[in-house]
Chain A
Amino acid sequence: QVQLVESGGGVVQPGGSLRLSCTTSGFTFSSYGMHWVRQAPGKGLEWVAFIRYDGDNKYYADSVKGRFTISRDNSKNTLYLQMSSLSAEDTAVYYCAKLLLLWSGSAACDYWGQGTLVTVSS
């Protein structure tokens, strides 16, 4: 069965950096685009970043552009989010999510990880 497991969250000081990972199994990772979506405590869902199935195209929300980098290692079935210059506004649960459609750039997300909490605090 499809599984997505995020890791790497924790407490980090303002201005610090963190790298999240999303380890996947149960599907052909290299054939699907992947998203990072976050949810601040008690708030709604906010899209963060997207990477195409082959890693050639990447897109970012304005709120993280220039600070976050999405990447993937198709040989390890793993998605990453490198986060830097973190501020309190980045405090959230970060989810990785898989696109519903093969080789697509625009599709809904049919599988989500359980999320990893990032807390930015001094």
Chain B
Amino acid sequence: EIVLTQSPGTLSLSPGERATLSCRASQSVSSSYLAWYQQRPGQAPRLLIYGVSDRATGIPDRFSGSGSGTDFTLTISRLEPEDFAVYYCQQYGSSPQTFGQGTKLEIK
């Protein structure tokens, strides 16, 4: 099973700042099958990025994904108030698919 480790656990930033979230895999992620989700309190997860760097439909271009192999990054270029939430990475190239433990992005 591929273990995904996200860092930091909590990130405290202000609106307008840039956020960089990390996701490290215990082994190489097959075929770049790496996604990022946003989850606001009381809501279901929302797909942001798939295939490492492809934005899902309707996702603003301030969200971007990058990386390869075992190291991946979600960048939010300029934080909006609605971006403060929990973010999860997911690998879906190897069975079982797995999620990271999440990074909480909070307002500083």
Contact = CB atoms under 8 A, between A and B. Distances in A.
B48 to A, nearest CB: 9
Interface of A is mostly: strand
B25 interface: no
Contacts of B100: 44
Interface string A27-55: 00000000101000000111100100000
Interface residues of A, number: 22
Given A45-B45, A47-B99, 8 more contacts: A44-B99, A45-B99, A59-B95, A100-B47, A100-B56, A106-B31, A108-B47, A114-B44
Interface in B12-53: 31, 33, 35, 37, 39, 43-47, 50-51
B57 A46 contact: no
Interface of A: 35, 37, 44-47, 50, 59, 61-62, 95, 97, 100, 106-110, 112-115
Nearest to B98: A47
14 contacts: A44-B101, A45-B37, A45-B45, A45-B99, A47-B96, A47-B97, A59-B95, A62-B96, A100-B50, A108-B33, A108-B47, A108-B90, A110-B47, A114-B44
